Amino acid sequence: MNSKVKMVFTYILLGVATVISVFPLLWMVIAATNKSVDVIAGKLTIGSFIVENYKNLVAQQPLWSSFLNSCKYTVLVTVFALIVSALAGYAFEIYRDKAKERIYGVVLMSMMIPFVALMVPLFRMYSKLGLLNSAIGFMLPSLATPLLIMMFRTNAKAFPVDIIEAARIDGLSEFGIFFKMYIPSMKSIFAAAGVVTFMNAWNNYLWAKVIMSDNTTQTMPMLISNLISGYVTDYGMLMLAVLITTIPTAIVFFALQKNFVEGITGSVK
């Protein structure tokens, strides 16, 4: 009887936690279909104003060009960040020496430096290099993050050294070992790192706002910021923009959810 009561209590607690977690997303969807006055009034039923909200959004902001910019920048950042960070993490673990350990220590210590402290020197440097309003300028600060390098190094500890030695004896190059043997066995960590990188790049507002001053290069977070910077905010239109912005990250997360959990827990297959 006690076990049944405990189980019922557990399910009730999980149900309440689920409702609390899902409600903001549900409210966002509902708000996107209602007028601004209805959103302010707290209306919790689906409305019929989503088409008008979409027309107003497209009329006021370059919605789809901003969406495509976010897609382009995010995909590029994710692909190159995974390659660079994976190479760094693999090299730090497989090719050990005292100098590399010192460098790795410096890399980890850099995690304690807030990004806002780096923005001014980065902006001045990128301005002199002519990288403002460019994909390269947006990408470079995110290509080798300490967190990703640490994740890949931690998972590289589970990669059998005997296999590397056997591959070298068979004449496989170091890059061949990395791309043909290491990467296929680390799908889970690549999925986990890919989800983290994709979400960070997609939601990157601060650096994008600093480096992108042209409206033709703005991203979705910048577009949302523009919607709330006026004297009067249309909350229905704003929630529709937020909903559209949320869809890609939700798709990526749910598509890689299983591998994400495996990668975070450090499992290797």
pLDDT at 230: 67
At 268 the pLDDT is 44
For 221-237, write each residue's pLDDT tens digit: 988 888 887 677 888 89
Question: Which structure tokens are listed for 86?
Answer: 């994976």
- Which residue numbers in the chain have pLDDT < 70? 1-2, 230, 261-269
| Per-residue pLDDT tens digits for 64-85 | 999 999 999 999 999 999 999 9
Residue-level pLDDT at 71: 92
Residue type, 233: T
Supply the pLDDT for residue 67. Answer: 93
Predicted pLDDT of residue 266: 57
Q: What is the pTM of this model?
A: 0.84
